[in-house]
């Protein structure tokens, strides 16, 4: 606790004792009665609520358009210019099937390559503690038919 707070705690109780509840209550906003007796009138002017605004006009036009389209639209089996255009520009089913099969093969090949790379490990390196032992073999006591030659062994130095 700081020194200023301690001094304030000592001085305040004597000041508080002099103020009464009524004096503290007088500072409340409830004592001002002149605000409660006034009549409040709304002086804003609002536009009339009608259904001829641009929003409702657009809603009506869209509704009429949807009803007209539903009534006069061609049946699913009928020939129409839109169906003809789609049939003319779309690829044949055989070409789509061939492209899908080619994509399947390439995806399988890509996944095989990804697995090959993910599962790969560096080659195993056998490190000898004393590589000079390769040159210290004994030509004696070898079984018949075995000739040990270490001439092609290369010792790497790190």
Which has more confidence, 41 or 145? 41
Other beta carbons within 10 angstroms of residue 103's beta carbon come to: 10
pLDDT (tens digit per residue) in 67-81: 999 888 888 778 888
Which has more confidence, 128 or 109? 109
15: pLDDT confidence band, cut at 50, 70 and 90? Answer: low
pLDDT (tens digit per residue) in 17-60: 555 555 555 555 555 555 555 667 888 988 888 888 899 999 99
pTM of the predicted model as reported, rounded to 2 decimal places: 0.33
Instruction: State the Cα–Cα distance between residues 49 and 151, nearest whole angstrom.
Output: 106
| Degrees to nearest 5, angle at CA 50 with 64 and 57 | 25
């Amino acid at each position: 606790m700081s020194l200023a707070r301690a001094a304030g705690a000592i001085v305040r109780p004597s000041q508080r004792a002099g103020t009464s509840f009524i004096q503290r209550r007088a500072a409340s906003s409830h004592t001002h009665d002149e605000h409660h007796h006034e009549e409040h009138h709304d002086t804003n002017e609002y536009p009339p609520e009608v259904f001829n605004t641009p929003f409702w006009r657009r809603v009506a036009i869209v509704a009429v358009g949807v009803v007209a389209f539903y009534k006069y639209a061609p049946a699913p089996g009928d020939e129409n210019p839109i169906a003809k255009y789609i049939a003319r520009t779309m690829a044949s089913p055989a070409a789509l099937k061939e492209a899908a099969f080619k994509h399947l093969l390439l995806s399988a090949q890509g996944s095989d390559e990804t697995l090959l790379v993910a599962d790969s490990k560096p080659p195993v390196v056998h490190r000898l503690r004393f590589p000079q032992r390769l040159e210290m073999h004994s030509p004696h006591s070898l079984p018949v038919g075995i000739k040990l030659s270490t001439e092609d062994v290369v010792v790497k130095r790190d």
